[in-house]
Amino acid sequence: MTKFSRKSRVSELIKREIAKIFQSFVFNDFSTSVFYLTVTEVYISSDLKNATVFILPFFPVGNNLNNKEILDLIKVESSKIRKSLGSLNLRFTPKLNFKIDDLNEKTKKLDDLFKSPKVSQDLK
């Protein structure tokens, strides 16, 4: 039996392809600043028909958008992104669901918690 399942191989393939698409894509909402997106992870359903894409926005200059506004801008372009995945020659092109990856924020909160005096005294 192979070490990696089809599900994980397809998820990695989709992650790489969406990352390539985002390299050439510059999102701008004419009223806000330009931002770029990084694909951190892709989870795909067992039937390979739905994929959740976790993204991390990068703002070269000041952040003018909240997470909902970013997701709304991506939603407008999601059909183009899905059509671009057609070149992968999969039996089904999965429906894409984008989410903001908030792992960095959660990690920072945990670090701050462990550094607080009340918690650090309990760890000794």
Domains and CATH numbers, the chain: 6-123 (3.30.300.20)
pLDDT in tens, the chain (124 residues): 456 688 999 999 999 999 998 887 766 555 556 778 889 999 999 999 999 999 988 877 776 778 888 888 888 888 889 998 988 888 889 999 999 988 777 788 888 877 888 777 776 6
Contacts of residue 56, Cβ cutoff 8 Å, sequence gap at least 6: 37, 38, 40, 100, 101, 104
Other beta carbons within 10 angstroms of residue 113's beta carbon come to: 11
CA–CA separation, 72 and 34 (whole Å) = 15
d(C-alpha 53, C-alpha 40), whole Å: 8
Short-list 37, 27, 13, CA closest to 87: 13
- Identity of the residue numbered 23: Q
